[in-house]
A and B are shown apart, each in its own frame.
Chain A
Amino acid sequence: MSEPWEEEGPGEVKKFMYVNRKAPYGTIYALESLEVVLIAAAFEQDVSLAFVDDGVYQIKKGQDTQGIGMKNFSPTYRALEGYDVEKLYVEAESLAERGLTEDDLLVPVEVKSREEMARLMDEQDVILSF
């Protein structure tokens, strides 16, 4: 029998991971995924973001969208902390493959190896990929 505090109920906290594997601007996935994260922050769940493959380009420093007439939404990643979204994981191999280092990123992150990222994914209750 489960203990009372283990019972599922309205107060249950689930681990949600938002997996970002796509570059910004070329498609809308990165922007709309960020919109989900901002809403999710209000639900008091355990939220983490993973930046894998081209997803690492979402948080590349120095984005300037003036010339393409689109909104630069990259500053929003820096605002996530204010929403209590603090677990931003970036895959080391994905950075290296793209010739990037942590210094190229516009927000503080935790760099994880692919193996560690796979384990983090495995620990989640819900994985949303866009």
Chain B
Amino acid sequence: MKYGILVNEGPYQHQASDTAYQFCKAAIERGHEVFRVFFYHDGVNNGTRFGVPPQDDRNITVRWTELAEANNIDLVICIAAAQRRGILDEGEAKRQGKDGENIAPGFRISGLGQLIEAGIQCDRMVTFGD
């Protein structure tokens, strides 16, 4: 089956991103396709590469990057939510006149249409939030 995932909360503060990650891993192990993970609300904060968690803790962002690269998952950060919260890729930084970008590898910034498209294309949408 084809899965779309919605993550509504940032890393560490809530368990949502962790549960979503464990769910995706299990879905892939069962032979499913995770087509897209869409990060919305504070969920966009999962996509900053500037986080430095303690060494004995998991690195949520790196974990998403690695899972996405190994399984061809489209990690999409909502542009409107990202602009509010200061998550930028190179193009956005340039457009908004900001002096840097912070997006992690494997993530991309795009519109809310990507969430709706996932809902249309996927057999299942599973939401993780607060």
Q: Do chains A and B touch in the complex (CB under 8 A)?
A: yes
In the complex, what residues of B have CB within 8 A of residue A16's CB? 116, 119
The CA of A29 and the CA of B127, in the complex, are separated in Å by 14
List A residues 107-130 near B (Cβ within 8 Å).
125-130
A79 on interface, CB distance cutoff 8 Å: no
Q: Say whether B86 faces chain A, with CB atoms less than 8 Å apart.
A: no
Complex: chain A residue closest to B4, CB-CB: A126
Interchain CB contact under 8 A, A35 and B125? no
Question: In the complex, which residues of chain A have a beta carbon less than 8 angstroms from the beta carbon of B120?
Answer: 12, 14, 43, 45
**A interface secondary structure, majority:** mixed
Q: How large is the interface on B (under 10, 10 to 19, 20 to 34, 35 or more residues)?
A: 10 to 19
Query: Once the chains are docked, how many angstroms separate the CA of A102 from the CA of B54?
Result: 52
A42 close to chain B: CB less than 8 A: yes
In the assembled complex, 12 residue pairs joining A and B whose CB atoms fall closer than 8 Å, in A order, are A16-B116, A29-B8, A29-B41, A32-B41, A35-B112, A36-B115, A39-B115, A40-B112, A43-B116, A43-B120, A45-B116, A128-B6
Question: Measured between alpha carbons, how far is A125 from B111 in the docked complex, in Å?
Answer: 22
Q: B40 in the interface, Cβ–Cβ < 8 Å?
A: yes
Report Cα–Cα, A14/B40, bound state, in Å: 21
